[in-house]
């Protein structure tokens, strides 16, 4: 796996992003914006399932209007995330918060699948009700917890992978030379001449 990750880091795309002053911050901004849309739309749906918000609206209609934005934002976020990942693939892959985020995203997909296979099949019965049946509320609660975890893990990735250690200089810095000032070129202090 490390060989593949090393290869990925050396691709033209990864090196171009890594060597650019603006590309990585731009991708990071797109990733955060997309994630905000994904999480925001998921929260709206979850709150409707719980009967906390938008209770006067049909769930099916609201979900169909929102989900197109969720999927578009998810695609945008995934592409930006993959491009950022390519720049430091080995560091990200071995980062515990990155792995936690990927696991949480898989759990979010599994949670959505459970919803589709169970609660969604009975939507005609509760579509205009104030909240979803008990299983729908459980799925919504789990979804909210997962998305909070995704956001937390994502922020922690940034805090734990961007620390740069500056190597110690191999020789002593001579500030006089650095600033172009006349100075003593010997390491020994100057001794006044005897008269």
- Is 180 within a domain? no
The span from the CA of 181 to the CA of 175, in Å, is 8
Q: Which pLDDT value is given to residue 54?
A: 86
Task: Give yes or no for a contact between 9 and 89, defined as CB atoms under 8 angstroms apart.
Answer: yes
If one counts the domains in the chain, the total is 1
Q: Which domain holds residue 107?
A: 2-163
In this prediction, residue 73 carries a pLDDT of 95
pLDDT tens, position by position, 99-149: 999 999 999 999 999 999 999 999 999 999 999 999 999 999 999 999 999
Whether residue 31 is predicted with pLDDT greater than 90 in this model: the reply is yes
Q: Could you tell me if residue 177 is inside a domain?
A: no
The answer on pLDDT for 186 being more than 70 is no
Cα(70)–Cα(84) distance, integer angstroms: 21
Residue 190 lies in a domain: no
How far, in Å, CA of 118 to CA of 179, rounded?
72
Asked if residue 170 belongs to a domain, the reply is no
* Residue 179 lies inside a defined structural domain of this protein: no
Burial class (CB in 10 A: 0-12, 13-18, 19+), 19: exposed
Q: How far apart are CA 67 and CA 72, in angstroms?
A: 8
More confident site: 181 or 13: 13
pLDDT value of residue 171: 57
Band of pLDDT at residue 160, cut at 50, 70 and 90: confident
In a domain, 43, yes or no: yes
pLDDT tens digits, residue range 35-63? 999 999 999 999 999 999 988 899 999 99
Decide if 193 is inside a domain.
no
Instruction: Using the structure block, give the residue that is written with the tokens 């390519």.
Output: 86
Predicted confidence band of residue 98 (pLDDT cuts 50, 70, 90): very high
């Amino acid at each position: 796996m490390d060989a593949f990750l090393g290869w990925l880091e050396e691709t033209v795309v990864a090196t171009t992003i890594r060597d650019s002053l603006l590309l990585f911050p731009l991708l990071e901004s797109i990733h955060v914006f997309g994630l905000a849309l994904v999480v925001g739309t998921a929260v709206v749906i979850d709150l409707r399932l719980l009967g906390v918000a938008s209770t006067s609206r049909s769930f099916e209609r609201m979900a169909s209007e929102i989900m197109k934005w969720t999927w578009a934002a998810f695609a945008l976020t995934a592409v930006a995330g993959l491009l950022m990942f390519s720049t430091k693939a080995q560091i990200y892959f071995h980062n515990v918060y990155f792995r936690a985020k990927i696991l949480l995203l898989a759990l979010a997909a599994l949670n959505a699948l459970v919803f589709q296979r169970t609660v969604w099949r009975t939507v005609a019965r509760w579509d205009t009700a104030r909240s979803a049946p008990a299983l729908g509320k459980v799925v919504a609660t789990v979804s909210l917890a997962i998305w909070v975890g995704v956001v937390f893990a994502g922020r922690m990735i940034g805090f734990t992978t961007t620390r740069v250690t500056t190597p110690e200089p191999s020789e002593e810095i001579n500030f006089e030379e650095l600033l172009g000032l006349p100075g003593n070129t010997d390491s020994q202090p100057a001794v006044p001449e005897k008269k």
